[in-house]
Amino acid sequence: MLSRRAVLFRHLSLSKSSPRTFNTTIATRRPFSTTELPNGIKLAYDLHEPPTTDWDPSRTSHNAPPPIVFLHGLFGSKKNNRSMSKVFARDLQRPVYALDLRNHGDSSHHPQHDYTALAEDVEHFLRAHELQAPILIGHSMGAKTVMTVALRQRVALGALIPVDNAPVDAALKSDFGQYVRGMRQIQDAQVQKQSDADIILQAYESALPIRQFLLANLYRDTHDGVQKWRIPLKYLANALDKMGDFPFRDPEEARYEGPTLVVRGTKSHYVADEMLPIIGRFFPSFQAVDIEAGHWVVSEKPEEFRKAVVEFLQDKD
């Protein structure tokens, strides 16, 4: 029988949160950069910095708030988190690193794509940039990646925010397999217009926002004019089963005691009520917040997501 501490969590209510005011000055974003890791992978990232007009000269490297590292989900990229990263840099007055994980965006391609490999990349990145006690935020695939980093305990973290995924083995929705089939059909058709690619994809996904999300991975080859995928479909198709797995099984052997905010969409099945006890065993200090959204919590309800994260982290400063 689970102990009371193992299953205890505090459920946050957004509707009862006290209003806060934030500086509206825009954060700055440097042109994207890449970091070559010791394992040969090159990770691309955007760095969003707090507005210079809000810089506090009394803050030193010893008392400045820890940086945020923001990870996207499967078929996503750092661009998906660009707007929210700017907001966090502004509202929380700290740098935000939005990463492209391997096989996504502008980062390296590699046939190995599982949570151990993804976590190792993130750990190398944190060491390379000497990020002290960073806050890791990850959505979907990114959520399982940040949970894996925390449980491996190879780097010190300040807090953890997994978004709409749980530390369990659970098959991906069949939608992802359909997306791959549609993307392969687009690849074989060698279309030259993104609108033609969208027509093909409509047979596999009816929702325009999701199609736009997937089609953001296309680029036009300047040599032949063909729309081509920036992501390696072969590698990611082979990794779909692994994306449903989780590398840890026993909470008695691996546990992260630091502050953790689990954000879940009420219309999504990825963090069901019956998963909360196992989350509590792996992450005994976790809190949960429900947002009325599907799996794409950040894009569906950005203000609710912003509010939950900002209030959680401000309580930790």
pLDDT at 172: 73
Which of 77, 85, 108, 140 is catalytic? The answer is 140
- The ranges assigned to domains in the chain are 4-169+245-314, 175-238
- 154-to-119, 120, 130, 256, 300 alpha-carbon distances in Å: 10, 9, 14, 11, 33
* Close Cβ partners of 115 (under 8 Å, ≥ 6 residues apart): 144, 145, 148, 242, 245, 246, 247
pLDDT in tens, the chain (317 residues): 344 333 444 444 443 333 334 444 567 776 679 999 999 999 999 999 998 755 554 454 556 789 999 999 999 999 999 999 999 999 999 999 999 999 999 999 999 999 999 999 999 999 999 999 999 999 999 999 999 999 999 999 999 999 999 999 987 777 899 999 999 999 999 999 999 999 999 999 999 999 999 999 999 999 999 999 999 999 999 999 999 999 999 999 999 999 999 999 999 999 999 999 999 999 999 999 999 999 999 999 999 999 999 999 997 76
Count the neighbouring beta carbons within 10 Å of the beta carbon of residue 160. Answer: 24
Q: What is the C-alpha radius of gyration for the chain, rounded to an integer number of angstroms?
A: 19
> Residue 51's pLDDT is what?
87
Q: Is 140 a catalytic residue?
A: yes
Catalytic residue status for 110: no
CA 35 to chain centre: 18
What local confidence, expressed as pLDDT, does residue 283 receive? 98
CATH of domain 4-169+245-314: 3.40.50.1820
pLDDT reported for residue 32: 79
Residues 180, 259 contacting (CB under 8 angstroms)? no
Q: Which two tokens stand for residue 314?
A: 């401000």
